[in-house]
Amino acid sequence: MHVTTTILALMLSSTPVHTTGAEQPIAASVRDAAAAAIGCLAPEMATRGPVEVVVSIPQQRAYVYRSGILIGYTTVSTGRPGHRTPTGRFEILEKRREHYSNLYNNAPMPFMQRLTWGGIALHAGHIPGTPASHGCVRLPLEFSRLLFGVTQVGATVHIIDASPTADTALATARGEQQPVPAPSPVASPAPVVVAAAS
């Protein structure tokens, strides 16, 4: 059994299942597990239709959908300060299993999927838990390899500056609903003083 299938099977075995019509069942925990510092891609959850990727810069997370059905998620590393990853809707322009940066000392970029001709791509790389790239979207190596296998040139990648859930990421990226703003510090409420009755 494939590793991602095993992970999803474990998740499915202990949680309620959501269905919305003809798609395969998706476990609530698949959506919720996206908060963990791991990734999972199970293309067999939806075997036909276009693949779309949504990258959330504030969350440092990517969600993968096929025909609108969540089939994967992973942690990512986007551009560090001074090398911000651009937001917007991109199409995969080119794919190369083995690629080396023309801009940054011939750095390896395994499973490169080019998003712009100016040097922005999805590719395997170090994921420190914070934005650390020169603008690309770094993915864990195994996830990058699996994603490379399910995408085609022309597939859509949305890079957003919002913090959606796995349930809302695709709609948010498509502009079908209001994005969830990134969490901001909340001031503590002033203490309430209640006078005792005399």
Full DSSP string of the chain: --HHHHHHHHHHHTS-EE--SSSPPEEHHHHHGGGSS--EE-GGGS-SS-EEEEEETTTTEEEEEETTEEEEEEE-B-BPTTSPPPPEEEE--EEESS-B-TTTTT-B-TTEEES-TTS-EEEE----SS--BSSSEEE-HHHHHHHHHH--TT-EEEEESS---TTTHHHHHHTSSPPPPPP---PPPPPPP-PPP-
Residue 168 has pLDDT above 80, yes or no: yes
Identify the CATH assignment for 3-174 out of 2.40.50.140, 3.10.450.50, 2.40.440.10, 2.60.40.10.
2.40.440.10
**pLDDT band for position 193 (50/70/90)?**
low
- Single-letter amino acid, residue 49: G
Distance CA 95, CA 121 (A): 9
Exposure on the CB side of residue 107, measured as CA atoms within 13 A: 14
**pLDDT band for position 107 (50/70/90)?**
confident
**pLDDT band for position 189 (50/70/90)?**
low
Q: What is the pLDDT of residue 13?
A: 33
**pLDDT band for position 195 (50/70/90)?**
low
Q: What is the pLDDT of residue 3?
A: 44
Q: What is the pLDDT of residue 88?
A: 98
Q: What is the pLDDT of residue 39?
A: 87
Tell me the domain boundaries of the chain. Answer: 3-174
Average pLDDT over residues 94-119: 87
Residue 167 has pLDDT above 60, yes or no: yes
Q: Between 170 and 104, where is the model more confident?
A: 170
Round the average pLDDT of the chain to a whole number and report it: 80
Phi, psi of 23 (to 5 degrees): -75, 165
Does the pTM exceed 0.85? no
- Single-letter amino acid, residue 124: A
Radius of gyration of the chain, Cα coordinates, nearest whole angstrom:
19
Residue 135 has pLDDT above 50, yes or no: yes
Average pLDDT over residues 110-121: 96
**pLDDT band for position 25 (50/70/90)?**
very low
